[in-house]
Structure 1
């Protein structure tokens, strides 16, 4: 898999599952790597949008994936991008 820009929390689950499957790993394999029960890992993966940063980094590390934050290439307005921005 290549790099992926995540625009919404819901996209996180799909990216994690994609990296796991492309590595040929099952949820049981991931649970063993993380030292948790398969059901615990399954719940975390299913609810990835609500995962703590600490847990997310542990999962990414177990997948051999790093988190890279970088500025967007070209600033776009939310109207141009089709992405709704959260209101604080």
Structure 2
């Protein structure tokens, strides 16, 4: 399912909802990420204050990903070649969409996991 997110307040609600729908506590998620529980609480409280890399790691552990989709009108047909710098600076609205997959975040015992084992620390961010 896709969720359009344009404000960090929406992201805050979505992160918590995704975690809970996976039946994970903040401590469970923290253990999988290799951080302390209070770090997960900080991320959920203010997701706009974390790096994109950290946010992507949290989303991956929750079985979600970020998809960026431009919602502005297409460039005019009169200009077949696009000046990328000018296009990037144009007043276009870009919506980041979080896409959740069907794969659960937690792995079952005896099956390989996409992430590091829970007992292997990944370091602090």
Q: What range is the shorter-chain TM-score in?
A: 0.7 to 0.9
Describe the SS at the equivalent of 1:70. strand
Match of 2:61 in 1: 62
5 Å-filtered alignment, 1:1-88, equals 2-72=1-71
Describe the SS at the equivalent of 1:24. coil
Describe the SS at the equivalent of 2:69. coil
Q: Higher helix fraction: Structure 1 or Structure 2?
A: 1
Larger Rg: 2
Match of 1:79 in 2: none
Match of 2:97 in 1: none
Q: Distance in 2 between matches of 1:67 and 1:28?
A: 23
Cα shift readout 1:15-43 (whole Å, capped 9, x = no counterpart):
11111111111100100010011112111
Count of residues in correspondence between the two structures: 74
**Runs of 4+ off more than 3 Å:** none
Q: What TM-score does the superposition give when structure 1 sets the normalisation length?
A: 0.75
Q: Distance in 2 between matches of 1:65 and 1:37?
A: 21
Point out where structure 2 has 5 or more consecutive residues left out of the alignment: 74-92, 94-125
